[in-house]
Structure 1
Amino acid sequence: MVLDIVFYSFTTIIAIQLIYYLGVFMPFVAAKPKPEAPKNIPVSIIICCKNEADNLKQNLPYIIEQDYRDFEIILIDDYSKDDTLEIMKSFKDKHQNIKVVEVKPIDAFWGNKKYALTLGIKAATHNFLLFTDADCTPNSKQWISKMTRYFSNEKSMVLGYGAYKKRKYSLLNKLIRYETLLAAIQYFSFAKIGMPYMGVGRNLAYRKELFFNASGFMNHMNIRSGDDDLFVNQVATKTNVALSYETDSFTLTEGKTSLISWFNQKRRHVSTAKHYKTLHKFSLSLFYITQLLLWVSLIILLSAQFQLIIVLCLFGLRILSQSIVIHKGSKRFNERDLLLLFPFLELFLVLFQMAIFITNQISKPVHWK
C-alpha cells in the first residue's frame, strides 16, 4: 500500500517535471534569437560600489572602452572604507562621461543598497539605464549595444545574462556555473511565456521613467536585498520585458572560491524569493519540491524494486527531456562543459537548496553592509 502511494506520487512528479522542461523551458532554449537593429539611444551605466577599489581598477576600463556612441557612467560610492571613492574620482578626472555619486550614511537607510542606487538613478542624465556590478566585465565591446537594442515603445525592461568565469580543475566553479545556468534558463523561460519574475543586477536594463512610475524601491525598501529581482518582480509584465541572450551581451564575473561563501551568497538570494508574487512563488516552489521528491521516491522504489521497468522508463524520459533542455541551454549560454556532469550537479544542488532553506529558517542571512 505504501509503495503504491509512492509509485503514484512518483508518476505525478514525473508529469509535473515534464511540464516544466517541455512546456516552460523548451520554448526558450529551442527558440532562435531574433536580433534587433542597434538603437544608438543615449544610455546611463549604473554601477553601485562598496569597497570595490581593486575591482574598479580592473573592470571599469572595459566599460569605458565600449563601442557605443552616447553613454555616461554613474559610479556610486556607498560609503566605502577603502580607496573606492579616490579610484572613482581618478577615472572621472580622465573621462568626461563619468559621474561620481557619494552616498553619506543615513540612519533610516544605513546599509541599504537600494538607497544608494536610487541616488545614482536620480543623477543619471538619460532615460535608458543599464546596470552592472564593479566585479563584472562585459563579454564584448558591443555589450551596451546588444543590451539596449531591445528597448522599444512597448519594451521598457531588458533582462540579460550574468555569467561566471570558468576556472580550470574547480568542481565548485562548475557547481556555481551550473546553478547560474539553471536560474537563467528558468527566468528567461518564464519571461518568454509571459511570466517574468526576476532579473540579475549584474546585467539588467530598464527605463528611468519605469523606475519612478513604480515609486522606485519603496514597496520593498525595508528588505535589504532584491534591488534587482524584487524590482523586476514588481514591475515586469508579459508585454514590457525583452530578453537579450546573445554572447556579446553577457557580463562575466569571478565566482566564489569557497563553498561557505557561496552558500552564504545563495542564502541571501533565496531569502529574497519569499517576497515574490504568489504565483511566482508557487511555480518556483513546485519545481524545486518535485525535484527533491523525485529523487526521494526514486530511491525508495528502486530499493524495493517496485514496478522497476516502469520506474526506470519514466525516469529515463525525464532525464532525456532534461538533458535536451540543458544541452540547448548550455550552448545558448556558452556553458557546454557542464553537460556531462549535470545529473551529479543537479543532485548536489537539490541537497544544497534544502540545506539553505533549513538554515534560513534558523537564522537570517547577512546582506549588503
Structure 2
Amino acid sequence: MNIGLLFIWLTHKPYQQQMNQEPLLNISVIIPVRNEASHIINLLKDIENQTYAKEKFEVIVADDDSIDNTLALVKDFQKVTSMRLIINSLPPKENNASPKKRAIHSSIQLAHGDLIVTTDGDCRVGHKWLETIAHFQSEKKAYLISSPVTFINDASNSIGNFWQKIQTIEFSSLIGSGACAMLIGKPNMCNGANLAYLKSVFHEVGGFSGNENLASGDDEFLMHKIASRFPDKVCFFKSQDAIVETESHTSFKSFYYQRKRWASKWKHYNNPFTTALAVFIFTANFSLIGAVTLYAFRLLDGTNLLIIFLLKFSAELLFLILVLSFLRKKNLIWLIPFVQLIYPSYVTFFGLAAQGKNEYIWKGRKLQ
C-alpha cells in the first residue's frame, strides 16, 4: 500500500496555474467558531490580505455561543475591515448533536457566494489562498475541492513542542494518504479546515441530512455524498499556495477526543471502499504488533521480523519525506522513524477505542 501511495504522489505534480479566461466564482468563506478569541483576529487579517479581489469574496463568522470575547473581537474588526464581513451569531441550543454542521448550514443560508470555502477559527492562511482555489475550481470545474492542512509549529525545543512535532508528522500521513486516494478518484477523507464546494451542489445532495446527529463529519460525509453523485468532480488541490495551518493539540486529552471522533466515523460510511480501507489499515497495523508478539515468544525469527518492518517502513519513510517537504515541514523529517515505531500501536488503540461509547469533549461541550 505504501508503495502505491508513493507512486501516486510522485506521478501527480503540484498544480500550476494556467492562463484561465473563465470567470472566477464569488466565494463565501465560512468560519465556525466557539471560544477562539486568541486566534480569530489573526485569521481575519490573513483573509483581509488575500490577493483575490475583495469584491469577489465575503467572510461569514458563525459564532456558536462563545463564552469568551470572540464575538466582541469580531464585531470590532468588522468596523474597520475593508472586506465584507458577516457575523452569524447562533442562539444557544440544547441537545445540539452537531454544532459545527449547524453553524455551517445556517451560514450557507446567508452566503452570497457560489463557492463555499470553510476553515476553522484557529487557522492561518497564505495570501494566495482564495485566488488559487478559485482558479483551480474554474479550470477543473470541480464540485468539491480538498486542500492541504498542516499544523503550526514554533521554533522552541520544549517537550510540548516535541509533542506538536509528533502530531504534525502523524497528521501529515493522513493528509498525504487522503490526497492520494482523491487523486485516483477514490476519495476517503478530507478536512473541513480547508474545504471548498459549490453551494448549489451542497443543496443538490441534501447538505448534511442523514448524518446531522453525528458530532463529526461536516467534511467527510458531505464529500462522500458529492463523490457518489459526481465521482469525477471531487478533487485534491496539490498546491503550496493553498496550504492552511491549524493549531495542534496542547494536551493528550484533546488529541484523544479528536482522534477517537475521527476513528468512529468509518462505521457510518456508506462507501464500501472507504470502509474496507479503514479495516485494512487497522488490520495491517495490528499485524505488526502481532509480529512483535510472535517474536517475543520466539514464534518468529528476527530476520523475518526485520523484513516485515523494512517492507512497511521503507516506502512509508519516502512517502512521508515527500509529504512533509510539500507541507514545508522538512525540519521534521528526522522524527519520522520514531513516529513509525509508535504508529501501529496508535492505530490499534484508536481503532479499538472507537468501538466503545462515542462521547467527545469539544469546545467545552460533551457530544456524541
Q: TM-score range by the shorter chain?
A: 0.7 to 0.9
Distance 2:329 2:51 in 1: 26
User: Which stretch of structure 1 is more off in the superposition, 24-33 or 325-334?
Assistant: 24-33
Matched, 1:34 2:15: yes
What is the TM-score with the length of structure 2 in the denominator? 0.87
How far does the alpha carbon of each residue in 1:108-136 deviate from its partner, in whole angstroms, 9 at most, with x for none?
Answer: 64662211211101111011111111100
How far does the alpha carbon of each residue in 1:289-338 deviate from its partner, in whole angstroms, 9 at most, with x for none?
Answer: 21221242145247638565455345433332222222222222222233
Instruction: Check 1:238–1:301 CA distance in 2 against 1; reply closer, same or farther (3 A cut).
Output: farther
1:202 shift after superposition: 0.8
Distance 1:318 1:357 in 2: 19
Instruction: Check 1:34–1:361 CA distance in 2 against 1; reply closer, same or farther (3 A cut).
Output: closer
CA contact (8 A) 1:148 1:205 kept: no
Instruction: Check 1:306–1:221 CA distance in 2 against 1; reply closer, same or farther (3 A cut).
Output: closer
Distance 2:314 2:98 in 1: 46
Distance 1:361 1:312 in 2: 31
Aligned partner of 2:186 among 179, 185, 195: 195
Distance 1:260 1:109 in 2: 22
Distance 1:339 1:299 in 2: 28
Counterpart secondary structure, 1:147: helix
Counterpart secondary structure, 2:191: coil
Indicate the residue corresponding to 2:57 in structure 1.
71
Indicate the residue corresponding to 2:317 in structure 1.
323
Distance 2:324 2:359 in 1: 30
Indicate the residue corresponding to 2:170 in structure 1.
179
Aligned partner of 2:38 among 49, 54, 59: 54
Matched, 1:222 2:213: yes
Distance 2:308 2:254 in 1: 37
> Residue type matched to 1:210 in 2?
V
Instruction: Check 1:308–1:221 CA distance in 2 against 1; reply closer, same or farther (3 A cut).
Output: same
Distance 1:367 1:282 in 2: 28
Distance 2:308 2:349 in 1: 28
Matched, 1:351 2:350: no
Distance 1:270 1:251 in 2: 22
Residue identity over aligned pairs, in percent, reads: 23
CA contact (8 A) 1:50 1:77 kept: yes
Counterpart secondary structure, 1:218: coil
Q: Cα RMSD over matched residues? A: 2.3
Matched, 1:245 2:231: no
Distance 1:174 1:241 in 2: 30
Distance 2:355 2:293 in 1: 27
1:81 shift after superposition: 2.1
Distance 1:157 1:225 in 2: 18
What is the TM-score with the length of structure 1 in the denominator? 0.87
Distance 1:110 1:319 in 2: 39
> Residue type matched to 2:177 in 1?
Q
1:233 shift after superposition: 2.2
Indicate the residue corresponding to 2:200 in structure 1.
209
CA contact (8 A) 2:97 2:213 kept: no
Instruction: Check 1:367–1:305 CA distance in 2 against 1; reply closer, same or farther (3 A cut).
Output: closer
Distance 1:27 1:111 in 2: 35
How far does the alpha carbon of each residue in 1:144-164 deviate from its partner, in whole angstroms, 9 at most, with x for none?
Answer: 112222214641111111110
User: Which stretch of structure 1 is more off in the superposition, 36-45 or 160-169?
Assistant: 36-45
**Structure 1 regions of 5+ residues with no counterpart?**
1-19
Distance 1:197 1:322 in 2: 19
Indicate the residue corresponding to 2:330 in structure 1.
336
Distance 1:232 1:367 in 2: 24
Aligned length: 349
CA contact (8 A) 2:27 2:117 kept: yes
Distance 1:249 1:207 in 2: 17
Aligned partner of 1:165 among 152, 161, 165: 152
CA contact (8 A) 1:191 1:238 kept: no
